[in-house]
Amino acid sequence: MYAGAYNALAFRPTDDAGDERRPQCREHPSIWRECKGETLVTVNESVRRFWAGALTPSLLAIVVMLCVNLGTIAVALALVDQDFVARHGRWLAANRFDYDILVTTGALDLARSEADRPLVVVLGNSTMRAMFSEQALREHLQQLAADAPSVHKFCTSRQAVLDAAAIIERIPDGSAGVVVLGLSPGMMTLGARELQNAGGSSRYGFRSDLYDEGMRGAGLKVAPRSRLYAVDNAAFLSVRVPRLAINLLLGRRIEFVESGYLGAQPDRVAFEAQGRLYGHLWQDYAARSDESLRALDAIRERLASRTRMRLLLVEPPVNPDFPGDYPVVAKVYAAHAQTMRDYAAAAQLPYVTPAAAISVGHADFIDGIHLGNPDLFKAHGRWLAERVVERLQAPTSAGDLQ
């Protein structure tokens, strides 16, 4: 009907009331509405009025604005929960190495699973992520164990022991299997304050009692919990929304790379930068390793009280030239090895390192601490599978109970 009206725009617009008796009304019955009293409007006039409406404040604009804003908030509160993030969280990823999102979706997915199958959950920082192939671990476990556990590689860049505690809280109650915790010296230097400076609880899309307790223990403020996922994880979601918008606009679904170091060329600049970084790591290790060990105690207690998971402590390999070229690195690693041996002995837990079984050289590393050799990546996966099976088959020790 209005198409007919616009076809009638050959007529000059009129501001007076229409009249059914006017010639154009008789000739073009399709413009009956204009003929009955409404002003005939040209396209230009329509456009002018449109922009006037768009640029002039009005009650309608305010109402629409509030509806959009409050509606978005209502939808977020209603729809965005941990199941939603578990299913669609990849759309929040920043890049192929955004392991925080990879682990968030994996951990939330694990949390909603049933505890009906043995699990292997591997935690640690980037040195652990670069150490072993998840596929090699999984395949070798299937060969070694009749009831092959499902494997979950939850290693993230610069993961602290407190981060690991937050992740293991996602393991369903009653689960059986092994939690492998790769502990490098760098991991032990990250306390609550360092974590807060790196984004705190906004790194992962889940809140954790152990993490919050660790923060409070360091005298830091913790955002209150409300039981509404979107509210509790507002920090995580708010910083990820721009990434979501970009990924949706570009139709980009991130495919993660298991290790960015795999097959890369050795980087002398990074090697030397890490050497300089370790210059003050010794003081950091001395100051904060106790805090990390307390977080490790909390992990053990949680696993013993809520699950049947056994803990296996692993020291990732290091470039042999790294402690060789930097005496302070040798000092830190020696102190770390002693600290962990003492802790493991007191807690009656196994503490293993692949160094005795798998020989590594300078050329196998990208820098001081990240393995890059693809063959050793798979070899460490197989080695880890053997240690996991040993752990599963070992008799229950006091370390497994507390």
Q: Please tell me whether residue 52 binds another protein under the rule CB under 8 A.
A: yes
**Residue closest to 399 by CA, chosen among 315, 298, 292, 301:** 301
DSSP 274-336: HHHHTTTHHHHHHHHHHHHHHHHHHHHHHHHHH-EEEEEEEPPP--THHHHH-HHHHHHHHHH
In the range 143-172, which residues lie near another protein by CB under 8 A?
156-158
Cβ-contact 149, 178 below 8 angstroms? yes
How many whole angstroms separate alpha carbon 140 and alpha carbon 270? 33
In the block, residue with structure tokens 């005939």: 40
Q: Please tell me whether residue 175 binds another protein under the rule CB under 8 A.
A: no
Q: Please tell me whether residue 49 binds another protein under the rule CB under 8 A.
A: yes
* Main-chain phi, psi angles of 216, to 5 degrees: -65, -35
**Minimum distance between the CB of residue 289 and another protein, rounded to whole angstroms?**
15
In the range 93-122, which residues lie near another protein by CB under 8 A?
94, 97-98, 100
**Minimum distance between the CB of residue 294 and another protein, rounded to whole angstroms?**
22
Q: Binding residue for another protein (CB under 8 A) from 124, 200, 205, 354?
A: 200
**Minimum distance between the CB of residue 57 and another protein, rounded to whole angstroms?**
8
CA dist 197 to 59, 141, 191, 193, 384, Å?
43, 38, 10, 6, 33
Stretch that binds another protein, among 142-150, 168-176, 193-201, 297-305 (CB under 8 A): 193-201
How many whole angstroms separate alpha carbon 402 and alpha carbon 303? 8
Report, in angstroms and rounded to the nearest whole number, the Rg of the chain calculated over CA atoms. Answer: 31
Q: Binding residue for another protein (CB under 8 A) from 17, 65, 78, 246?
A: 65
Q: Binding residue for another protein (CB under 8 A) from 72, 283, 338, 348?
A: 72
**Minimum distance between the CB of residue 46 and another protein, rounded to whole angstroms?**
4
In the range 215-244, which residues lie near another protein by CB under 8 A?
223, 234-236, 238-241, 243
Query: Considering beta carbons, is residue 172 or 275 the nearer one to another protein?
Result: 275
3-state SS track over 171-223: CCCCCEEEEEEECCHHHHCCCHHHHHHCCHHHCCCCCCHHHHHHHHHCCCCCC
Stretch that binds another protein, among 110-118, 194-202, 284-292, 384-392 (CB under 8 A): 194-202
Q: Please tell me whether residue 331 binds another protein under the rule CB under 8 A.
A: no
Stretch that binds another protein, among 67-75, 132-140, 290-298, 333-341 (CB under 8 A): 67-75
Q: Name the DSSP class of 74.
A: H
Q: What residue ranges bind another protein (CB under 8 A)?
A: 41, 45-47, 49-58, 60-69, 72-73, 94, 97-98, 100, 125-127, 156-158, 184, 186, 196, 198-200, 202-203, 223, 234-236, 238-241, 243, 270, 273-274, 277, 369
